[in-house]
Amino acid sequence: MKSKLCYQCRKTKTLDQFYNSCLNKDGLQNMCKECSLDNNRKYRKKHPDYYWGNENSYFRRKYQEKVVDYQNERSKATDNCSIIKVETEDGIWLAATRRRPSLFINSKKQEWNINQRHTDKFKSNFQRYLCSKEKKIAFKILDNYQVIKQFKGTMKDAYAQRILIQNELKSKGVKVF
């Protein structure tokens, strides 16, 4: 196996221990991956404001305007929002969505299939609950959804409405996922 000398640590290492570089004839950087990572860490520690730290930092200059424009447009968007309720024997699950409720429920069915293969990546108590059930039963539970509120607004409004309804149900002693 071929090897190369790192110009910083002066050690001979195998070629897979060097990052690619189109600037050099051999197609590899002059510094090994270990030294390169070490240099990057030192630079970030020495210049903490370079990336996001202040108004003149690289990423803020490059992306801040786009981020602000996106956030403004997103907050102005008024779509049909829905609050969906799914009742189970263990409690109630509430969800907020801007999609049609039937599409939203279908996406949850697809998540069920994915979660069966990746059981270590559960995101919520409700997903854990659904995955403890057989497919037929889980899908039947999801098919019995109810739309309890529809309105025009932003997703932020929908989340706020869901939390209000959730708190109202909890105050009545209902278990909410």
Give 102 or 49, the one with higher predicted confidence.
102
Residue-level pLDDT at 93: 86
Percent share of the chain, pLDDT over 90: 21
pLDDT exceeds cutoff 90 at 12: yes
What's the pLDDT tens digit per position in 71-93? Answer: 666 666 667 888 889 988 888 88
What's the pLDDT tens digit per position in 140-175? Answer: 888 888 999 888 888 888 888 999 999 998 999 888
pLDDT exceeds cutoff 90 at 1: no
Residue-level pLDDT at 77: 62
Neighbours of 82 (CB within 10 A): 22
Work out the pLDDT band at 15, boundaries 50, 70, 90: very high
Domains assigned to the chain: 1-46 (3.30.60), 48-76 (no CATH), 79-171 (no CATH)
Work out the pLDDT band at 49, boundaries 50, 70, 90: confident
Neighbouring residues of 124: CB distance < 8 A, sequence distance ≥ 6: 177
Residue-level pLDDT at 99: 78
pLDDT exceeds cutoff 80 at 70: no
Per DSSP, 176 falls in state: B
Q: What is the mean pLDDT of residues 125-133?
A: 78
Neighbouring residues of 146: CB distance < 8 A, sequence distance ≥ 6: 84, 85, 86, 87
Q: What is the mean pLDDT of the chain?
A: 82
Percent share of the chain, pLDDT over 70: 83
CB 125 within 8 A of CB 140: no
